[in-house]
Amino acid sequence: MTALGWSNPSSMNTPARAWRLKDLIPSRPVRVTVLVALIAVVSAADLYLTVLYLQNGGMSEQNPIARWVMSLNCGWILTAWKVLLAGGCCAILWLARHRWSSEVGSIIGACVMLWLGVRWNQYVDLAEQVKPTLGHMAQYHPGTWVQFTDR
């Protein structure tokens, strides 16, 4: 049909295009962009929860590099470090979004961040249960406990 509603004679003998599952799946750049956005959102939530817990009693941090950055007792340094690392990784994945390796990296990164989100959910539930004894938790985790103190 044309804009005026007339049939196009050249398309009358063309068979209808078969429906394929491939037509429903977005292209690689779109998939990578969605995965990178997921990584960025969960990274921002991770940073928010980390700062929240560091300012309100502390938490146990298993990553020695992150623990060192947190021990500097400065929220903007922690934020800059997190934005530099997570933002840099997201930027690299997005810039290479047309490559299969970027898609694989984005899938792995998204899976890791979803796992981290599940762990945060468990941590928040546990922290609510032990809230009255949170002040004593540093005694049980002397090498890994970090918190922001007032200066």
Q: What is the tens place of the pLDDT at every residue in 86-141? A: 999 999 999 999 999 999 999 999 999 999 999 999 988 888 887 767 666 666 66
Classify residue 143: in a domain, yes or no. no
Classify residue 148: in a domain, yes or no. no
Q: What is the dihedral of CA 120, 123, 129, 134, to 10 degrees?
A: -120
What is the C-alpha to C-alpha distance for residues 38 and 36, in angstroms, rounded to an integer?
Answer: 5
Classify residue 17: in a domain, yes or no. no
Classify residue 19: in a domain, yes or no. no
The distance from CA 130 to its chain's CA centroid, rounded to whole angstroms, is 27
Is the pLDDT confidence value at 5 over 70?
no
Classify residue 8: in a domain, yes or no. no
- Say whether pTM exceeds 0.75: yes
**Cβ–Cβ < 8 Å for 70, 54:** yes
- Token pair of 85, please? 């690392």
Classify residue 92: in a domain, yes or no. yes
Mean pLDDT score of the chain, rounded to an integer? 85
Classify residue 12: in a domain, yes or no. no
59 phi and psi angles, rounded to 5 deg: -160, 165
Is the pLDDT confidence value at 8 over 60?
no
SS3 state at 19 = coil
Classify residue 144: in a domain, yes or no. no
SS3 state at 74 = coil
- Per the structure, the count of domains in the chain is 1
Domain of residue 56, residue span: 27-132
